[in-house]
Amino acid sequence: MNTQLLKSTLYHLKSQRILSTINILGTALAIFLIMIVVMLQQVKTAPFPPESNRDRFLHYNFVSISLGDNNRCANAMCSPKLIKELIDPLETPETYTFYVFGTEKAVASVLGNKSTSVSIKGTDHRFWNVFDFDFITGKPFTAGDFDTKNPVAVINHTIAKKLFDSADNAIGKEFWINGNPYKVTGVVNDVTRLANTAYADIWTVINMPDSYGWGGGYCGDCSATILAKSKNDIPAIWNEVQKLTAQVNKRLEAENNYIENRERPYTQKIYALNSLPNESPDYASHKKKSLLIYLILLIVPAINLLSMTHSRLQQRTAEIAVRRAFGCKKTSIIVQILTENLILTLIAGIIGLLLSIGFAWCYDSYLFMQRNMSLSDVSLNVSASLPSLLQLSTFGWALLSCFILNLLSGIIPAWRASRTSLSKALSGHVN
């Protein structure tokens, strides 16, 4: 773009301030909505601590098992028995962990009547190898603690301050959860609620016997997350699970029972769909719906910009006629009009991007609330995760949207203006 063309473009934008402002605001709103929709999707799949390995996760969150001859089907979380038979024998993964699905509300307290409401999650010792927590002090509980079901716990920084005044004072100290004593082994930085698999205030050793379960012993209260060595290993791990499921089902034939796989385990993208336990996820349909939303968000402002561009050209018909009379080429007119639209949409894109960041920052608790959350959850701490939500791909989509809007709104009016006859242009009409 040469300097003269840029100066001319800026002059025309300033001379039509009202139309230019309406143009910018309309496009900025479209970009703002696109960015919010993208962030709402990425918050479920983007990697950020302590779920930095989401691209290597496979989740086995539910089990469906048909029981007997009456087609009765049990759908629930997993039991230790299922995890032992379908997850533990896997050879391809780096490791896996199992934990109580969701969190449990409880009251934590210390001597001196200090108490606070907390969210607790029971886990195994491998939990700390799958999820990357930031330990301020201390360490996670060990395999020995897990095997002996020691009453030990890892707590977050906020709970450490409430109960012990500081993280340094918490290590080795005793506190109570619903009247039961626990000892602190480590303190971690607070976890955002956006990390809905790893989130809790306090993590304790899961206290569940191997025999716990119903529905043939395969239904329980647990979920498992498998960590692949590489995301390229995910298909191999998935196939391993299918083979193990087939072996278990062959053994269950005598009882006329079988496990309905429903395409489990799920990658993070599939897991984010929040499918019910009694149905298989439909990722293809989800993608189609998302694309349809993006198209609507693009097409509506594009129609508006088409109208605005036509209005600007109507006010410049005399200028177009004079330029044509002095030998200005059609391509020059097209380039000028497209350049104006390009600058407008880029400015609007930046404004829309900044608006989406500000909106996400200020209204995170409402915007990113997920199915297992409520308004009583104070804050999602999205500020810590916002850089992950605004990846280069997100910013690229915003810029791409700007260019698409520019082409949709500018190419047709520019082409029509360049073909306008001199007599019609001088009379104030554009074809």
Ramachandran angles phi, psi of 120, nearest 5°: -115, 145
Point out the least confidently predicted range of 58-72, 184-198, 365-379. 365-379
Inter-residue contact 137 to 193 (CB < 8 Å): no
Q: What is the pTM of this model?
A: 0.80
Check whether 325 has a pLDDT greater than 70.
no
Which residue has 């900044």 as its token pair?
354
Check residue 51 and report its DSSP letter. B
Highest mean pLDDT: which range of 4-8, 239-243, 370-374: 239-243
| Rounded-to-integer distance, Cα 200 and Cα 101, Å | 11
Contact partners, residue 414, CB within 8 Å, separation at least 6? 309, 333, 334, 337, 338
Backbone φ, ψ for residue 117 (5° rounding) = -80, 135
CA nearest neighbour of 184 among 176, 192, 174, 194: 174
Are the beta carbons of 298 and 405 closer than 8 angstroms?
yes
With b for 16 or more beta-carbon neighbours within 10 A and e for fewer, the 18-45 pattern comes to: ebbebbbebbbbbbbbbbbbbbebbbbb
Q: Please, which pLDDT band fits residue 377 given cuts at 50, 70 and 90?
A: very low
User: What pLDDT was estimated at residue 22?
Assistant: 77
* Mean pLDDT along residues 343-354: 82
Displacement of CA 399 from its chain's centroid (Å)? 20
Q: How far is Cα 123 from Cα 146, in angstroms, rounded to an integer? A: 9
How far apart, in whole angstroms, are the C-alpha atoms of residue 182 and residue 196? Answer: 24
Q: Which of 364, 383, 373, 388 is nearest to 52 (CA)?
A: 388
Element (H, E) at 123: strand 114-123
Question: How high is the pLDDT of residue 236?
Answer: 97
- Please give the pLDDT value at position 331: 76
Of residues 103 and 420, the one with the higher pLDDT is 103
Which pLDDT score is estimated for 305? 66
Determine the average pLDDT of the residues in 379-390: 58
Mean pLDDT of the chain: 82
Q: Is the dihedral of CA 381, 387, 388, 389 positive or negative?
A: positive
Sign of CA dihedral 76, 81, 82, 83: positive
Kind and range of the H or E run holding 129 = helix 127-130
Most confident of 59-63, 70-74, 206-210, 392-396: 59-63
d(CA 60, CA 82): 10
Give the whole-angstrom CA distance, residue 240 versus residue 284. 24
CA geometry: angle 315, 320, 321, nearest 5 deg? 110
User: Residue 253: which of 63, 62, 68 has the closest Cα?
Assistant: 68
Amino acid at 98: F
Distance CA 231, CA 252 (A): 32
Strands, DSSP E only, in 79-193?
95-100, 104-110, 114-123, 135-138, 152-156, 174-177, 180-188
Distance in angstroms (rounded) separating the CA atoms of residues 224 and 123? 10
Q: Could you report the per-residue pLDDT of 77-100, keeping only the tens digit for each?
A: 999 999 999 999 999 999 999 999
Site of tokens 């119903």: 214
Reported as a single tens digit per residue, the pLDDT across 293-307 is: 877 877 776 676 666
